[in-house]
Each structure stands twice: as C-alpha cells, then as structure tokens.
Structure 1
C-alpha cells in the first residue's frame, strides 16, 4: 500500500505540469509551433505509433502489421544499439576493472591512462568515429561502448579496492589462496559496486545512442527527432522525447529489479 501511495505521489508533479501546460496552450499564451499542446503531442505520439498502412491480407500477419509503426521500428533500432554497445563496453570494462582493483601493479600501470581518457565525453569522439567507421551502426556502437565503459570500469575498481580489510585478513588467516581470496571474498563483496556501475553505464549508453543517431545513422529515435526538427514538427520532437523518457524509465526499473534480485543477500534486501 505504501508503494502505491509513493507511486501516486510521484505522479503529482507531472500531472500538475501537464495541466499548466495544457491551460497555457488553450489560452493561447504559447505559440503552438514552438510548444504544441499536450493533446497535440499525444495525437502525434499515437500517429507515430500507428501502422503506416491500413491492414490488408497482403500485409502479412496481423501482429506484424500491428508492430509496423514508425515508432516501433525506431525504438527497436535504438534499443538494439544500446544493448550491443553496452555489452561491448561492459564486457571490456569488467575484466579490466577487476584486474586494476585486485592488482596494485596493474592499477599503477593503467590508472594514469584511464584518468586522462575518462573525462573526454563520447560526443567528442564523433568526428573520429565517423572517420574510422564511416556511417551506420559501427560508429554508433563505438560511441555507446565508450559511454558504458567508464562507469562500469570505475565502479568495478572502487568495489574491489574498497573490500573491508578485515575480510581479507580473516580469509588469509584461514589459509585462502590468492585465487580463492579473489573469487570468494573480493568479487562477491564488490558486486554491489559493479551493479551500480552497470546501472549507470546502461543509462549513459541510452543517452549516447540518441546523440549518435542524430549524426551517424538513418533510423532510431535520435534520427527521427532530428528529422522532425528539420520540418519544424515540434509535436513529433516532443513525442520522440517522451518515448525516450519512457524507455529510459523502463530500463532503469528493470535494472533496479535485477539489482534487488541479485543482491537479495545484501543487508536491507533480505525481505
């Protein structure tokens, strides 16, 4: 019941903002070309979601026709790039982070390079990405991988290096080898940090994919927003932005549930 109340209270601000927005639009205080009314945005969103052609037996299966809308194709394209780019970035960051966290020698060797490259935003790599990979998915995946790489890397390093020394001393006193110490003590203790990095990394990947699609690809939510800007379709721009927000919310909620499931042994999550 308390979660339901929290959810309802969370709707208070957006509902109030939409009511003020709609009122201002109805009274003519806002230029609809600059900021269309919420009702106009909702209509455009459903138009964007709807199948491009009327249904006919030649359209194939009913389900395929239902999901043939432009919005569905753009959302699938964006999610594909997010998932693939994130898996590449996190797949490279996780082993490197574990090595840097567990080995002082590897940390000393790699830390300066990491700290120099880390502040450079993925957007700054756009010219190089296009030069190296051309247009299409490869440069977008490269940028998304960069966006996901450093949050996972830094949280993994922090998680391994901040394992309580009491656990390490106790394991050594019990005769644990270095491999056992790493697998049974350091790695499990660092999992909360790693999962936090994964959650931040996939959120960053979703931000980067929109920017990458505005530059390098010919479909996806970012591309569609740029297309709408060129034709002054403000309602479609906002509809695309709302779709991005809803997908981002769904991804974050999914990651939160995954974290809670994988950390159910952790203090405070037993219930």
Structure 2
C-alpha cells in the first residue's frame, strides 16, 4: 500500500473519530430534552418534544401531497409540505450571489490597501467608520433603495461578507514576512512579479480565512434579511411559523439552518485544506 493511501486512510479514521466524539454532546442534549418533554415539565406549545420536531421537519422536507392518517392523533396526522428544499435553494442562491459580490469587491480593494500605504491611508478611515455598523442596521435603507425581494437581501449579504474578506486580505498582505520580500528583490523581482509570485501566495491563507468567516456571516445575514424583505427562504419560513405559533416548525427550521451552516463550514474547511496543502507542508 502506498504511503499516500495510508495517510489518506489515517486521515479518514481521524475524521470519523472526531465526528463520533462531536456527536456525544448533541445526542445527550436531545435525550435530556426528550426526557423533560416526556415528563410534562414544559408546555409542548413552548418547547415541543424532539420527536414532534422531527416529524415536522420530515413534513417540511418531503415534497408530497398533504396526508392525514386514519387514526386521529396518530403520528402521521400532519401535512407534508415539501417547502424545505425550495427554501434551502432560495437561501443558498442569495448567499452565493451576495457573498460573490461582497468578496469580489473586497478582494481587490484589500490587496490594494495592503500593498499600497497611500491607498490604505486614503481608504482606511472610511472602512473603519463603516465596519462596526452591523448589516441589520442597513435594513431600512436597503428596502428604501431596492424595494422588496432579492435585491435588498443580496445587498445586505454582500455587506456582511465584504468586511471579513477585506480585513483578512489587508492583514494577509501586510503581514508577509520581510525575508521573502528581500529575497525576491535580491533575485531581481520587479513590482508586479513581487506581488504576484510572493505577496499574493503568502496572503492566501489569510484571504481564505476571511472567506470562511465571510460566508458564515453571509449565512447569518440571509436569515435576517429573509424575515424582512422576501417571501421564501429559511428565514421567512421561521417568521411565518412564529406568526402561527408553530414552535415545532420554528425549531425544525432552526435545525435546518444549523445543519446547513455546518455543511458549509465543513466544505469551506476542506477547500482551505486542499488549497493550502503547500502551506501545511511548510508548517510541518
């Protein structure tokens, strides 16, 4: 067996081991939750049992026609709406578009601010004034400027993704080890070569970290924006459930958001590890 295959198998075993350990706390929490609900210590309208949330989540997921069981009050006496796939696709579309716009604007500006003291001196004061303002504060202006629908939601998401990518890009460029720069200059590298072959590769780990934070922020902002400006998506569905006091559907929607966010973070982490294999090698 080749060494690469052995390393790959060890990596998969470590991942499965970490995943198993990570499941312990959620399983214990759900078991405790179910026990408290079964004992009747909480109002099911306020905190439904995990099994009730699971049933609602399945009904929210499956794209089937409404169905009622013959046994009144039986475990199949709930409707299957099939809204979850549609809402998930709508939310992911907004996240992808908003993150693409925000990161696409932040990356070149961050590179320019990190590489040029003059650009940094001109732009940084404005950035530092705008950066502490949360995207949620822009909701009234976003609706005023763009109306309702996807445009204000995408604007807010882009705003949420912009600053994490920008600040990490600036930091990554400005923190390049001076030894690399002096060595490149001694070898005759010009300004463009120095930037493309030394500064940019050295800043990539920080840029990818900013992208990971930015997409997480974008996913948070999309939920808030969907509660205000659109009529579909995971955030909208939670708001709708709140209006009718469907606490089981609220928790099912929250669980869907958590699982989707976890999947996105795992995907971004794996992408970072794949793109930064050379950097991992330098560290070890």
Q: In 2, distance between residues paired with 1:139 and 1:228?
A: 23
* Residue segments in structure 1 that go unaligned for 5+ positions in a row: 55-67
Deviations along 1:14-72, one digit per CA (max 9) or x if unpaired, are 00000000000000001100000000000000000111427xxxxxxxxxxxxx82110
Gaps of 5+ in 2: 1-12, 67-80
Aligned partner of 1:243 in structure 2 is 256
**Is 1:189 aligned to 2:207, yes or no?**
no
CA contact (8 A) 1:52 1:70 kept: no
Aligned counterpart, 2:37 = 25
3-state SS of 1:120 partner: coil
Aligned partner (choices 45, 54, 58) of residue 46 of structure 1: 58
TM-score by length of 1: 0.93
| 8 Å Cα contact 1:263/1:269 also seen in 2 | no
Specify the SS of the correspondent of 2:227: helix
Size of the aligned set, in residue pairs, is 259
C-alpha separation in 2, matches of 1:52 and 1:215: 28
Match of 1:172 in 2: 185
Does 2:221 correspond to 1:203? no
Contact 1:78–1:221, Cα closer than 8 Å, also in 2: yes
Does residue 111 of the first structure (1) align with residue 111 of the second (2)? no
Query: Is 1:35 matched with 2:47?
Result: yes
- Root mean square deviation, CA, Å: 1.5
Residue 139 of structure 1: how far off its partner (Å)? 0.2
CA contact (8 A) 1:264 1:270 kept: no
Change (3 A) 1:37 1:268: farther
Question: Quick one: which of 8, 12, 15 aligns to 1:3?
Answer: 15
How far is the alpha carbon of 1:175 from its aligned partner?
1.0
Q: Does 1:87 align with 2:100?
A: yes
Match of 2:268 in 1: 255
The list of structure 1 runs, each at least 4 consecutive aligned residues, that deviate by more than 3 angstroms after superposition, is: 268-271
